[in-house]
Structure 1
Amino acid sequence: MGTTDVSGLTQLGKDVEQPKSPEDAVLERVPNGQSDVNYLVRFTAPEFTSLCPMTGQPDFAHLVIDYVPDEWLVESKSLKLFLTSFRNHGAFHEDCTVMIGRRLVDLLAPRWLRIGGYWYPRGGIPIDVFWQTGAPLADVWLPDQGVSTYRGRG
Structure 2
Amino acid sequence: MPSAPSQSLETFPNPQPERDYTIRIRVPEFTCLCPKTGQPDFAELTLEYVPEQRCVELKSLKLYIWSYRDQGVFHEAVTNRILDDLVEALAPRFMRLTAKFNVRGGIYTTVVAEHRAAGWQPPVQVSLP
Q: Same fold (TM over 0.5)?
A: yes
Taking only aligned residues, the RMSD between alpha carbons, in angstroms, comes to: 1.9
Which residue does 2:23 correspond to in 1? 41
Which residue identity does 2:58 align to in structure 1?
S
Q: Which runs of 5+ in 1 are unaligned?
A: 1-14, 142-154
Report the secondary structure of 2:18's partner residue. Answer: coil
Residue identity over aligned pairs, in percent, reads 45
Give a deviation string over 1:95-131, Cα, whole Å, max 9, x none.
1111111100000000000010111111211111001
Paired residue total: 123
Superposition misfits of 4+ residues, deviation over 2 angstroms: 134-138
Determine the structure 1 residue equivalent to 2:111.
129
What is the aligned partner in structure 1 of residue 123 from structure 2? 139
Normalised by the length of structure 2, the TM-score is 0.88
Task: Determine the C-alpha separation between the residues in 1 that align with 2:66 and 2:124.
Answer: 29
In the TM superposition, what is the alpha-carbon distance from 1:38 to its structure 2 partner? Answer: 0.5
Look up the match of 2:37. 55
**Deviation string for 1:65-93 (max 9, x for gaps)?**
00000000001100000011111111011
| Alignment-derived partner of residue 31 in structure 1 | 13
Tell me how far 1:17 sits from its aligned partner. 3.6
Bigger strand share: 2
TM-score (norm: length of structure 1) = 0.74
Give the 3-state SS of the residue equivalent to 2:72 in structure 1. coil
Answer yes or no: is 1:116 the counterpart of 2:98: yes
Runs (5+) with no aligned partner, structure 2? none
